[in-house]
Amino acid sequence: MMTWLGTPGVVCALGAGVEAVGRAAFAGDTTGMRAQAGWVNGRVLTLGACTGALPALPRELPAHHHSRNNQLLLAAATQIEAPLRAAIARYGADRVAVVLGTSTSGVNDNAPAFRDLRQHGAWPATYDYRRQALSSPGSFLADWLGTTGPAYTLSTACTSSARALLSAQRLLRLGLCDAVVCGGADTLCRLTINGFATLEAVDDALCTPFSVHRRGINIGEAGVLFLMERDPADANAVALLGGGASSDAWHMSAPDPTGEGARRAMLAALRSADVEAASIGWLNLHGTGTPHNDAMESHATNAVFPNGVPCASTKALTGHTLGAAGALEAALAWITLSASNAEGRLMPHVWDGHPDPALPALEFSTPAHRYAAGRRRVAMSNSFAFGGNNASLVFGGHP
């Protein structure tokens, strides 16, 4: 059974809406990645922030829903509100599910309360744990939409929203609903940024994935939503052909250096989608810019695609949006596959152009690359996370 993803709502460092995001991504525009102080003491970091105004949450919603994370979701939702409301009217509120991914939820909005507790020995009256609960994104969006179908949030670190798309597909295939609002959101968060800095995994300058000079990640934020259906009303819909996941449990924060877990996820995704590796026209790499991730992903990609595949990491354009990364990079793949990309352009790999000679050579996409003419466009997107949690998704344009 085919499942289809309608036009996504998206807000990230590249901009807001698929037209603006696509235009900037095809151009390799890194101007949304900006140096910011104040997140880590004594350092100025390059971060991918959403700089546009975000919509205010409706006052009638409970106060604990009010967080920047949920504002990012609302910004994405309002871009596609008409098809979301139409699906609810078509199927019924109880037949529409909500499945999201996050890693930060509203914890950054609750940070002042923790400072008050430390200074005064008591929580402020405004503190509400539900604001930072991992369930918050799903319950907020269901409340805003008025849906009564399944609504939940996954948190599997940097694969969260990729796994949300897989879970959404599973709900449809099981017949538990007729449409799923799926995606994810993650917010720039002092706790998270300092955590990665403590791991010495953050690059102060713009990240350079797969370069011999790579030093770490840039963190970003994003909100991304899709409407997934079996029979889409959206003529521009892109198919989620399949997906695969694995857990190699190699280390709490480092991947299996051989890339075995990543390789298994990619092969499982190809089997699920019933396509050969040679059918993939573009691979959106996880490509964080850390020495360990890029090394293992190079080995895994070389093993799965021994004849090469045009590929790119888009994290120099958006930052690593953590729990939202899987959905954001699915949206970027969606843009390349959509009919509006008449020329079949691929998004470029933005880096310093100095490959690591110790790694297998990859075919990084440039502005000159195109999907092969006369063939169905098929793309793969990788997401890998702490704990050896791996996910890979395969998407297809209309035949």
Q: Does residue 328 contact residue 14 with C-beta atoms inside 8 Å?
A: no
Inter-CA distances, 272 with 2, 52, 231, 245, 301, Å: 11, 38, 20, 11, 18
Say which of 64, 65, 299, 320 is annotated catalytic. 320
Q: How many CB atoms lie within 10 A of CB 244?
A: 21
64 is catalytic: no
Cβ density class 250-259: b for 16+ within 10 Å, e for less? beebbbbeeb
Question: What distance in Å separates the CA atoms of residue 234 and residue 227, rounded to the nearest whole number?
Answer: 9
Half-sphere exposure of 327 (CA within 13 A, CB side): 42
Question: What distance in Å separates the CA atoms of residue 340 and residue 131, rounded to the nearest whole number?
Answer: 38
Say which of 50, 65, 66, 158 is annotated catalytic. 158
Say which of 286, 299, 349, 369 is annotated catalytic. 286
Amino acid making up residue 46: T
Single out the residue of 61, 224, 54 nearest to residue 140, CA to CA: 61
Question: What distance in Å separates the CA atoms of residue 78 and residue 220, rounded to the nearest whole number?
Answer: 21
299 is catalytic: no
207 is catalytic: no
Amino acid making up residue 195: G
Single out the residue of 23, 108, 74, 54 nearest to residue 317, CA to CA: 23
Residue with tokens 């994290």: 315
Q: DSSP readout, 245-298?
A: EEE----SSS--TT-HHHHHHHHHHHHHHT--GGG--EEE----S-HHHHHHHH
Inter-CA distances, 395 with 281, 316, 344, Å: 10, 22, 14
- Which amino acids are annotated catalytic? 158, 286, 320
